[in-house]
Copies of this chain bind each other. A is one copy, B any other.
Amino acid sequence: MKQLGEVFEFSAIGVVRTPFKDRFGVPRQPGLAAQAKGVIKINPDPDLKTALRSLEEFTHIWIVFVFHDHGGKGWKPSIRPPRLGGNRKVGVLASRSPHRPNPIGLSAVLVEKIDFDAEGGPEIHIGGVDLVDGTPVLDIKPYIAYADSIPQASAGWASAPIPRYPVIFSDEAENEILKRDPQGKQNLRALIVDVMELDPRPAFQKRQNPVTDSASWGQRYGIDVLGNDVKYELRESGLYVYDVQDLKK
């Protein structure tokens, strides 16, 4: 990265473990909440364990993390938000895109429990996670509603409604989901809907082959949801999940 000013060094205090191995499978719906679970694995250091004391009293925390997939790639001054259909460019600092001058991310998650004495270092069990597995953590802060919650804040371009598409399942897909998550403990079906209704394809694919364009209908894709390869086809009616298979490595 080009140096922009005074340089600071930070070191990871832990790593986020999630079922999302690939960023296109990460739920981008905020408030997806409890369905997408993960663990912040804190490095085994007695001082860090002490530093977490009383954190269990908070319902929500901020994770300050590194967009590690983008570390070496440099940053882009402007991006095309997928939400705007790729039709408009905005500055990267006016977005939450990972391709920022300093690839630092911010995510508010739910604290489910903290296991201070887990083997290999404390574990913070979290819900509502939108992070890729392996994300390095720089800081954790309690979410303090009277300072952090500004419900009346209004968002320029980001207030455009997020397009959502119907997600339809074939009988075969329904059966596969039942077989893979028989008691519904993983909420696999709900998670597939949450991930898919926003059209999880990379931005350039969304631009080139919009769901609503008849020329796209019939095109097939696969996406990893909790280690399952969810096969779907673009149709006039929306995203049609025709099968759920084992992920080929």
Mark A residues whose CB is within 8 Å of B. Answer: 1-15, 30-31, 43, 45, 47-48, 50-60, 62, 64, 66, 71, 75, 77-78, 89-96, 100-102, 104, 106, 108, 136, 138-158
Contact = CB atoms under 8 A, between A and B. Distances in A.
18 contacts: A4-B43, A4-B48, A7-B9, A8-B138, A9-B10, A13-B101, A47-B77, A51-B77, A51-B93, A51-B94, A51-B101, A53-B94, A54-B94, A57-B94, A58-B154, A60-B153, A108-B148, A143-B153
A10 B142 contact: no
Q: Which of A43, A51, A92, A102 has the most CB of B within 10 A?
A: A51
A64 to B, nearest CB: 6
A148 to B, nearest CB: 6
Q: How many copies does the complex hold?
A: 2
A71 B8 CA distance: 9
Query: Ordered nearest first, which 8 A-B pairs have the shortest CB separation?
Result: A57-B156, A5-B12, A53-B91, A30-B147, A50-B77, A54-B90, A55-B94, A54-B94
B92 A136 contact: no
A91 B55 contact: yes
Given A104-B64, A147-B108, A157 B10 contact: no
Contacts of A58: 94, 153-156, 158
Contact of A101 (B6, B60, B139): B139
Contacts of A148: 108, 148-150, 153
Contacts of A71: 8
A54 B104 CA distance: 20
Contacts of A147: 30-31, 96, 108
A75 B50 CA distance: 12
A102 B10 contact: yes
Contact of A155 (B108, B145, B150): B145
A16 to B, nearest CB: 12
